[in-house]
C-alpha cells in the first residue's frame, strides 16, 4: 500500500510543477491513497488535491475542514474503484472526541445538558491559519454540529478554536464548561481542561481509516465508507453517535 505527498497551490501550480505534472506523478507512483493534511483555510488547494486524486485513480482522505465529500464526488471516486473519505479529521483523544464522549456518557446516565462550551487554544501552523475569521467560523460550526448529535435534547453550545499561542508549539489545550441537570433538576457543573499533542493525536486515526478503506476497496464494498467517515471525521455525510460509529467500525473491520 502506498501513500503520496505533494504540493499544489491555490491556482494549481507550484514553482516546479503544474497540475498536470502532479497528476502524472501520482499515476507514476500509483499510490492507494492521497492524504490531504494541508492547513485550514486552503479550500481551493483541497479541491485541487481531490480532483488530482480522482484523475489519477487513487483514493482521497480529507483531514481538513474543507467540504470535499459529497454524494457527487463519492460516486465519481467509486466509479473508478476508489473512495473519498472525510471531512475534518477527529483526533484519537482530541477536543471534539472527548467532548462527544462526555456528553454521550452524561446522557446514558440520565444527565441532561443545558449549556456548554469548548474553547481550543493551539500553537501550530494549522491553529494560526484557523484564526482567519471565515475559517474559524466554519470550523466552529463543524465542531458545534458534531458535538450536538450526542445529546437527546437541544442545548446551548459553542465549540471552536479561539486563539493562537505560539508558545504552545504543537500542543493544543481545550477548555470545557458544562451546565446540566440531574435527578429532580439537581444542578451539575463541569469545568476542566485537556492538553494534547496536536499532530500525533490524529496519526492512529489516519492509519485506521487507510486500513479500513483498503479492505473495503479490495472487497469492492464501497458502502462501508459511511461507517469509516462517521468513525474518523467531524463532518461526514452520514452522522452517527460516537458510541454507535465506534461499534459499527469495530463490527465491520476488527476481527
CB atoms within 10 A of CB 184: 5
* Phi, psi (rounded to 5 degrees) for 186: -65, 135
**85 closest CA partner among 248, 251, 205, 243:** 205
The arithmetic mean of pLDDT across residues 230-244, rounded, is 97
pLDDT of residue 77: 98
Say whether pLDDT at 172 is over 80: yes
CATH value of 3-90+201-253 in 3.40.640.10, 3.40.50.720, 3.40.30.10, 3.40.50.300 = 3.40.50.720
pTM of the model: 0.90
What percentage of the chain has pLDDT greater than the value 90? 82
Task: Quote the CA–CA distance of 23 and 49 in Å, as a whole number.
Answer: 9
Segment 59-66 mean pLDDT: 94
What is the predicted pLDDT for the residue at 10?
47
User: What's the chain's average pLDDT?
Assistant: 92
How many percent of the chain have pLDDT more than 70?
93
Instruction: Return the pLDDT at 8.
Output: 53
Question: Is the predicted pLDDT of residue 14 greater than 70, yes or no?
Answer: no
Whether 233 and 86 have beta carbons less than 8 Å apart is answered as yes
Domain ranges of the chain: 3-90+201-253, 95-197
Give 224 or 136, the one with higher predicted confidence: 224
Statement: residue 3 has pLDDT above 70: no
Domain 95-197 sits in CATH 3.40.50.10260: no
pLDDT band with cut points at 50, 70 and 90 for residue 1 = low
Long-range CB contacts (within 8 A, 24+) of 125-133: 125/39, 126/39, 126/40, 126/198, 127/161, 127/164, 127/172, 127/198, 128/39, 128/164, 129/39, 129/40, 129/41, 129/42, 130/40, 130/41, 130/161, 130/164, 131/161, 131/163, 131/164, 132/41
Judged against a pLDDT cut of 50, whether residue 97 lies above it is answered with yes
Mean pLDDT of 184-205: 96
Query: What integer is the mean pLDDT of 77-101?
Result: 96
Residue 51 reports pLDDT greater than 80: yes
**Which whole-number Å values give the CA distances from 14 to 8, 40, 45, 218, 248, in the listed order?**
6, 19, 11, 34, 41
- pLDDT for 42 equals 79
Cβ neighbours, 10 Å, residue 165? 14
Amino acid at each position: 500500500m502506498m501513500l503520496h505527498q505533494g504540493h499544489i497551490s491555490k491556482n494549481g501550480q507550484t514553482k516546479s510543477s503544474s497540475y498536470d505534472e502532479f497528476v502524472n506523478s501520482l499515476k507514476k507512483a500509483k499510490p492507494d491513497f492521497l492524504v490531504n493534511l494541508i492547513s485550514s483555510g486552503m479550500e481551493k488547494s483541497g479541491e485541487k488535491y481531490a480532483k488530482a486524486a480522482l484523475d489519477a485513480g487513487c483514493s482521497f482522505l480529507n483531514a481538513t475542514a474543507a467540504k470535499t465529500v459529497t454524494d457527487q464526488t463519492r460516486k465519481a471516486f467509486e466509479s473508478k474503484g476508489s473512495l473519498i473519505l472525510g471531512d475534518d479529521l477527529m483526533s484519537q483523544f482530541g477536543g471534539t472526541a472527548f467532548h462527544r464522549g462526555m456528553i454521550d456518557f452524561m446522557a446514558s446516565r440520565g444527565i441532561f445538558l443545558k449549556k456548554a462550551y469548548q474553547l481550543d487554544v493551539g500553537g501550530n501552523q494549522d491553529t494560526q491559519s484557523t484564526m482567519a475569521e471565515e475559517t474559524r467560523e466554519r470550523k466552529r460550526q463543524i465542531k458545534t454540529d458534531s458535538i450536538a448529535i450526542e445529546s437527546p435534547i437541544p442545548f446551548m453550545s459553542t465549540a471552536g478554536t479561539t486563539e493562537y499561542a505560539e508558545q504552545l508549539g504543537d500542543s493544543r489545550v481545550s477548555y470545557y464548561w458544562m451546565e446540566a441537570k440531574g435527578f429532580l433538576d439537581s444542578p451539575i457543573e463541569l469545568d476542566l481542561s485537556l492538553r494534547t499533542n496536536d499532530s500525533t493525536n490524529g496519526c492512529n486515526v489516519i492509519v485506521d481509516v487507510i486500513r479500513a478503506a483498503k479492505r473495503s476497496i479490495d472487497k469492492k464494498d464501497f458502502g462501508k465508507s459511511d461507517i469509516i467517515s462517521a468513525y474518523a471525521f467531524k463532518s461526514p455525510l452520514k452522522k452517527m453517535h460516537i458510541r454507535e460509529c465506534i461499534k459499527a467500525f469495530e463490527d465491520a473491520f476488527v476481527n
